[in-house]
């Protein structure tokens, strides 16, 4: 994944390297499922995952639906890449502010204005069907409304969408939540695209604060308030990348399984052993990805 989230004062690996590692793990897991292979024998599967504990004797998976949903998830990932670039540039501006002249601060404020405009445009991106990617379940109009002053500068960005998103069923108990709400200020539900009360992310609010402090030559406020806030936005986006990776892995897995359900002679494969292989491979893939996300988020920001 292109780009890098600016991590002021951090020795952690770059976002790009961590997300790339997650993608590689996802691809390896899906390849293993497609070939009905695994790195551990059946007798190493936990009792709850053993073939004889699986009630269903065959799978009915919607591979075509998984393929369609992947288009949406890939669009989400592209938008996240672009928002990551916005955050990264803002972080670099904030880092340099302490040593900048008043003239340079004014120029930097203009650049942040441009980043803010770009960010709102990304967050209001449409789907191929004409709806909006990040408006939640009621995505019929632009979810983000930017209010401007007499000079045309954005002073506030309000979210008009919903925090509720639907779960898509893919058959035989497989499901995904491909939609990302623009914001979520509640205690439960999907993490919001640019703002969430649980992660502390608030990209647009933090860009506005940085811009205003640059214009006011408030270097201390930038160091004490804006830089830490932009770090939270970086971590917020990292969580999204992990969740998007997990969703894509699930969709790729369902596509691979759906294609693998039939043998070369067209007869459905419903053996318990086949189901055990599938269940184990998917369980391992999801576990590996969740561990990646949890380990990443548990690392402290220095």
Instruction: For residue 193, give both structure tokens.
Output: 């695209």
Within a domain: residue 37?
no
Query: Cα dist. 260→36, 60, 132, 256, 293 in Å?
Result: 9, 11, 34, 6, 29
CA 115 and chain centroid, separation: 20
Residue 34 lies in a domain: no
Residue 270: pLDDT over 70: no
Give pLDDT tens digits for 117-129: 999 999 999 988 8
The answer to whether residue 74 sits within a structural domain is: yes
CATH code (residue 84): 1.20.1330.10
Read off the DSSP letter of residue 61.
-
Identify whether the C-beta of residue 172 lies closer than 8 Å to the C-beta of residue 56. yes
**Are 271 and 260 in contact, with CB atoms under 8 Å apart?**
no
What number is the average pLDDT over the span 184-203?
Answer: 96
Is 47 within the bounds of a domain?
no
- Greatest mean pLDDT range, 40-44, 195-199, 255-259, 271-275: 195-199
- The residue whose two tokens read 């576990």 is 287
* pLDDT tens digits for range 157-188: 999 999 999 999 998 888 999 999 999 999 99
pLDDT score at 45:
37
Residue 253: pLDDT band by 50, 70, 90 thresholds? confident
- Would you mind telling me the total number of residues written for the chain in this entry? 302
Q: Does 229 map to a domain?
A: yes
Question: What is the arithmetic mean of pLDDT over 198-211?
Answer: 97
- Look at the chain and report how many structural domains it folds into: 1
Asked if the structure places residue 261 within a domain, the reply is yes
How many CB atoms within 10 Å of residue 298? Answer: 7
| pLDDT of the residue at 279 | 58
- Domain residues for the domain of 227 are 58-298
Task: Identify whether 46 is part of a domain.
Answer: no
Question: What is the distance of C-alpha 252 from the center of its chain?
Answer: 16
Question: Do the domain assignments include residue 141?
Answer: yes
**Span 281-298, mean pLDDT?**
54
């Amino acid at each position: 994944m292109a780009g890098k989230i600016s991590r002021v004062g951090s020795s952690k690996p770059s976002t790009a390297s961590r997300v790339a590692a997650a993608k590689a793990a996802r691809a390896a897991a899906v390849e293993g499922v497609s070939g009905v292979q695994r790195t551990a024998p059946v007798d190493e599967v936990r009792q709850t995952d053993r073939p004889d504990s699986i009630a269903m004797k065959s799978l009915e998976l919607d591979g075509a639906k998984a393929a369609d949903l992947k288009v949406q998830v890939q669009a989400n990932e592209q938008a996240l890449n672009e928002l990551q670039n916005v955050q990264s540039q803002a972080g670099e501006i904030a880092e340099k502010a302490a040593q900048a002249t008043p003239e340079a601060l004014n120029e930097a404020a203009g650049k942040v204005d441009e980043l803010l405009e770009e960010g709102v445009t990304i967050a209001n991106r449409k789907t191929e069907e004409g709806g909006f990617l990040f408006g939640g379940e009621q995505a019929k109009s632009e979810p983000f409304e930017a209010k401007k002053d007499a000079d045309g500068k954005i002073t506030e960005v309000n979210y008009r969408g919903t925090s509720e998103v639907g779960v898509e069923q893919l058959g035989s108990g497989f499901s995904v939540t491909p939609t990302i709400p623009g914001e979520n200020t509640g205690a439960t539900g999907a993490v919001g695209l640019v703002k969430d009360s649980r992660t502390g992310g608030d990209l647009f609010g933090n860009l506005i604060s940085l811009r205003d402090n640059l214009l006011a030559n408030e270097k201390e406020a930038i160091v004490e308030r804006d830089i830490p806030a932009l770090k939270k936005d970086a971590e917020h986006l990292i969580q999204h990348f992990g969740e998007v990776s997990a969703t894509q892995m699930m969709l790729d897995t369902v596509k691979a399984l759906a294609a693998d359900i039939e043998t070369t002679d067209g007869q459905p494969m419903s053996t318990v052993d086949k189901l055990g292989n599938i269940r184990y491979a998917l369980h391992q893939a999801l576990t590996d990805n969740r561990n990646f996300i949890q380990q990443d988020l548990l690392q402290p920001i220095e």
